[in-house]
Amino acid sequence: MMNDGRPFGLYIDGRFQPASTGRTIRIENPKDRSHLADVAEGDETDIDLAIDAAERAGKIWAATPGAVRGDIMHRAGELLAKELPDLVTIEVDQIGRARREMTAQLGRLPEWFRYFGAVARTHEDTVPPFGGKFLNYTRRVPLGVVGHVTPWNHPLLILTKKIAPSMAAGNTMVVKPSELAPITPLLLGDIFKEAGVPDGVYNVVPGYGATAGKALTSSKRIKKIDLTGGTETGKMVASIAGANLTKVAAELGGKAAVIMFDDTPIERGVAAALFASFIATGQTCVQGARLLVQRSVHDAVVAELVRRTNMIRIGNPQDMATQMGPLVSARQRELTERYVKIGLEEGATLAAGGKRPNGKLFENGYYHQPTIFTNVTGSMRIAQEEIFGPVVVVIPFDTEEEAIALSNGTEFGLATSIWTRDVTRAHRVAHRLESGIVWINDHHRIDPCSPWGGFKMSGIGRENGLIAYEEYTQIQNVIVNLSDEPFDWYADDGQEKRYS
């Protein structure tokens, strides 16, 4: 699916086109900094053109029956499934994530189109009882043009979570992907076109946050902004959108805890912690960045965790045997290294990793070893701030109460996992967590039907599930008077009259 070395254009109104300035962005492969592709760099003018196209297409798409939209989305899911091997290759090249992970992640994307296609076909409106001789019903109508701003860490998954409900609900859209990973979002355009999505429904304008992103999020013509990114970006975007009374959904940062009680078998708990902490080289919003371990098993868990962490195979991310690829960029590796330094300065013990791996293979890429800190307290910066790299801190606890306090003790509230064989304790703890997502005896699980989003500084709104579809609509209430009896409020006819 890669093109022949020519720059990828912006995808507007069903066709690729150069940016109005003619400028391009160089996309590099983080495994060795080699040149991957050039992509047109959009700015305000291009965002305006894309919104024009989306407004025109909205007249057709919003009027298309839900069942037809659903069929088209099913077709898009099938076509996407066929293109997956190529898309996986490009995603791995763009962000450096291990192929075995990307294959597993992207393999699930068609489910989002099937699920939301089915919702478009089957979603029912309501008939709230109004009292009196009235028929009263609600209709869900599309919002109009929606702006989707997405990050680099799961380029297609996060985009799909946003556009599937948005499209199913009859909206049209302008996407501003991360400038580090815009290729796969652009390629989706062709898949939608082949599936029968009308031109202009799906538009992609790669560019920088400060220019294209800002133009999109501050446009008065955009009816909803749906952003995934860092918490500071979320606050900035929400304040700009607020000035226009534009709806905002924001999936933001996290510092997820893995709470491990002492009845968890050590091997199972360690396998869980590895999965939670080091998937995506730690660059995921629900990364198990804090491992809270009950003190009686703490030393045994740490010993096994360190042993298994040192065995993680770092390497060329395209190789199916590789278990950890590079970080996405120089900036992201610098952040990781900065936090390793901060952890040491705070007095934590480096129990594993902490450095760039040695060897020729790693010389030019943004590699970093999976890293574990022990002797950490809940107030240290490495236990509070989102690092977004392969760094996990281990903190012991004695009681259930203490585990809950530690888990809730950050500004974030996205996700938590609880590991225990005690079913009552599991639910009791879950109900006291300030966390939008709680897994019991698992981590990282997601499904198109299941609401995804955070409490506190981790975001506003939810992705996935019926709630996501509904949040992409507005409600119209139609109240029908079924009575033919004459009604004249101002007539002095002695009738008792209903006012409200």
The CB-of-242 to ligand NDP minimum distance in angstroms stands at 13
| CA–CA separation, 378 and 489 (whole Å) | 67
Cβ–Cβ < 8 Å for 203, 171: no
Binding flag, residue 214, ligand NDP (CB under 6 A): yes
Q: Does 105 bind ligand NDP (CB under 6 A)?
A: no
**Binds ligand NDP (CB under 6 A): choice among 92, 98, 237, 256:** 237
Number of residues that bind ligand NDP (CB under 6 A): 33
Gap between the Cα atoms of 286 and 446, Å rounded: 11
Catalytic annotation, residues:
251
Using the minimum distance from each CB to ligand NDP, give the nearer residue, 30 or 170: 30
Instruction: Determine, following the binding rule CB under 6 A, whether residue 393 of this chain makes contact with ligand NDP.
Output: no
SS percent in the chain: helix, strand, coil, step 5: 40, 20, 40
Q: Which of 241, 252, 259, 301 binds ligand NDP (CB under 6 A)?
A: 252
Work out which of 172, 178, 336, 435 binds ligand NDP, going by CB under 6 A.
178
Residues 72 to 101 in contact with ligand NDP, rule: CB under 6 A: none
Cα separation, 85 vs 78, in Å, equals 13
Of the candidate residues 64, 94, 184, 233, the single one contacting ligand NDP (CB under 6 A): 233
Among 42, 58, 213, 390, binds ligand NDP (CB under 6 A): 213
DSSP E strand boundaries for 69-223: 134-142, 145-149, 172-176, 202-204
Q: Using N-to-C axis directions, what is the helix angle for 99-106 and 66-95, rounded to 10°?
A: 180
Closer to ligand NDP at the Cβ: 198 or 253? Answer: 253
- Asked if residues 296 and 453 have their Cβ atoms less than 8 Å apart, the reply is no
Q: Which of 41, 91, 386, 471 binds ligand NDP (CB under 6 A)?
A: 386
Query: Could you tell me which stretch among 118-126, 248-256, 303-311, 346-354 binds ligand NDP (CB under 6 A)?
Result: 248-256
Displacement of CA 456 from its chain's centroid (Å): 16
Q: Does 152 bind ligand NDP (CB under 6 A)?
A: yes
Our finding on whether 144 is near ligand NDP (CB under 6 A) is no
Q: From residue 306, give the alpha-carbon distance in Å to each of 353, 378, 485.
A: 9, 20, 81
Rounded distance between C-alpha atoms, residue 368 and residue 354, angstroms: 8
Q: Does 209 bind ligand NDP (CB under 6 A)?
A: yes
* Amino acid identity, position 47: I
Phi, psi of 298 (to 5 degrees): -55, -50
Q: Which residues bind ligand NDP (CB under 6 A)?
A: 149-153, 158, 176, 178-179, 208-210, 213-214, 217, 227-230, 233, 236-237, 251-254, 285, 386, 388, 414, 454, 458-459
